[in-house]
Chains A and B, each alone.
Chain A
Amino acid sequence: MSASLEKGVRVLKEMIDAPIASYFNSCVHCGLCAEACLFYTETGDPKYTPIHKLEPLRRIYEQEYTLLGRLKKVLGLSKPVTDAELGEWQELVYNSCTLCGRCSLVCPVGNDIVYMVRKFREGMAISGHAPEGIVEATRRTVSTGSPMGVTMHAVKAQMKHVEEETGISIPLDVEGAEYMVLLSSMEIINFPEYLSAIARIMKHAGKTWTLCSTGFEATNSGIQIGVSDLAKTIVSRIVEGAERLKAKTVISPECGHAYTALRWEGPNLIGRPFTFKVQHILEVLDELRSQGLLKTEGFETDRLTFHDPCQLARRGGVIQPQRNLINMVAQNFVEMPDAGKMNWCCGGGGGVTAIEPAEALRIEAFKKKKSQLEAVKPDRLVTACAVCRTTLEEGLEHYQMNIPVVGLTEIIAEHLPEQGA
């Protein structure tokens, strides 16, 4: 066994716990997980069956943790996991899986398949089988602070633009603010309107907030490739910043996995509970709404529908806030079929958009989202994740569907009452 494969197999052995053992022993090969996965439903190719993505891990489990499996291994009757096999599995574990988690919701015997894929990626990464694109992005995050090379310099440029546009100054490194706002590189680069919206909303609600110069990046591609050490480094920057600035709540931006990375994996990565709250921006806005601090005027009258980012809704638990918020500012909001926790993935999460060879597959998988939109026929599509936005736009563009995509925080900000002189 080569050094990398050995490390990979060792890591995979460490990943296995009672849940994973229980899941492998419960699988009855019913194939229902495939029926829930857009990569299978839109291609018809059974190799994309979610549980099949875990076959090498299953064999390692059997050979290392079961009496019969160990016996078979000793007798030379079992098939070892090879480097070539892991190489073959790269496409199944990364290109055709966004960690959307739909499979975990339908397995009749209760298998949490996405939990297993997430852990399997740890072994894939260590053995050198993670996709180049995301490996690079992760390295960049660790060394420069951002997966896309966004520096404080660029953030400051954007801050200045927003300050000019809104007439509101953007706080940086302010101690004792109620909220520490994180941004994702995708937003800083592609959607400056997000920061503008935050500034206006915070002013309107009378809340103190700040950006943090050493921990402004929410994106955590360490989670996506599955290297917990790097994921931990990235989270630690945020934690250090939040504790240094004594912020009460850290706000995760309109980015899907950043929320699950910080809110749900964060404390487990650093090995201790957080001393501050973590909320997604939509949770914060919904809270402000229910406290009467967020008041809007006017309504969008066109037909709007909402795409639930997987990491926010199904995987993050933020399902109702977006609906409360849209209903504040929309007269004609309609749900797409399977809305809420069963919504279908845009096809771009989990690092898939960073994998160039996966583009054709992603466009094909988009037919599922296309069918949902054809059923609901909206004038515009609202969502709350920067990668969902670009993925949706690319898909809509490819299939020649004229449906503009907008961010929810942006729409809320547009309906704030006009400010005085």
Chain B
Amino acid sequence: MPTNDKDFKAKLGALPIAHQRHVGALFVQRVLPFSSDVRLKAALELALRADASDAELTGAYQAANTARVESYTRCGSVCDWADQAGHFVAKAVMACVSPAAEGESLAWEAAMSARMARTCQTVADGSGTENREAEEQYRILEAFLNN
């Protein structure tokens, strides 16, 4: 099991794209409840399917992007950290369905954005800066690799 992010990142980057989408989606599933946007739920389900077509992925990517842009905290308004968590969920979902190029690490992007979503949620509920999201993500990857 990875014990640090350098190791984690390397292992994720070594996976084929289809697997990265799947693992990324598993990370995002943990934080999906922070967003009520149905487009994100649908996109995530797509990322978990091995048979998603390029056209379907593109559609989901565009929908997730719209969700992301719509959920930016507007400059000058009070930041609702719970809402902001939803913004990072959208970003994480985008990583899972984005058109992939060689060498890119979709799963790492998804992992980082999912962690940001968790961080926002902990700020929102005042439970402090500590969260164990990284360890949970290591566990998920380990379980995936062992299957």
Contacts and interface: CB of A to CB of B under 8 A. Distances in A.
Contacts of B66: 397
Interface stretch (A43-51, A56-64, A156-164, A262-270): A156-164
Contacts of A190: 72-73, 84, 87
Given A167-B4, A393-B72, A397-B66, A161 B78 contact: no
A20 interface: no
A134 interface: yes
A348 interface: yes
Given A153-B129, A165-B5, A397-B65, A351 B123 contact: no
Interface residues on B, range: 20 to 34
Nearest to A147: B76
Given A164-B5, A189-B73, A354-B74, A148 B79 contact: yes
Interface in A107-142: 133-134, 136-137, 140
A348 B87 CA distance: 20
B75 A393 contact: no
Contacts of A164: 5, 115, 134
A354 B76 contact: yes
A41 interface: no
Interface in A157-208: 157-158, 160-161, 164-165, 167, 185-186, 189-190, 192
Contact of B75 (A158, A167, A354): A354
A170 to B, nearest CB: 12
Closest A-B pairs by Cβ, 6 of them: A354-B76, A137-B76, A157-B129, A148-B79, A149-B78, A397-B69
Interface of B: 4-6, 62, 65-66, 69-70, 72-79, 81, 84, 87, 112, 115-116, 119, 122-123, 129-130, 134
Interface of A: 133-134, 136-137, 140, 147-150, 153-154, 156-158, 160-161, 164-165, 167, 185-186, 189-190, 192, 221, 348, 351, 353-354, 386-387, 390, 393-394, 397, 402, 421
25 contacts: A133-B76, A134-B76, A137-B76, A140-B78, A147-B76, A148-B73, A148-B75, A148-B77, A149-B78, A157-B122, A157-B123, A161-B119, A164-B115, A164-B134, A167-B6, A185-B79, A189-B79, A221-B76, A348-B75, A351-B76, A354-B74, A386-B75, A393-B72, A397-B65, A402-B62
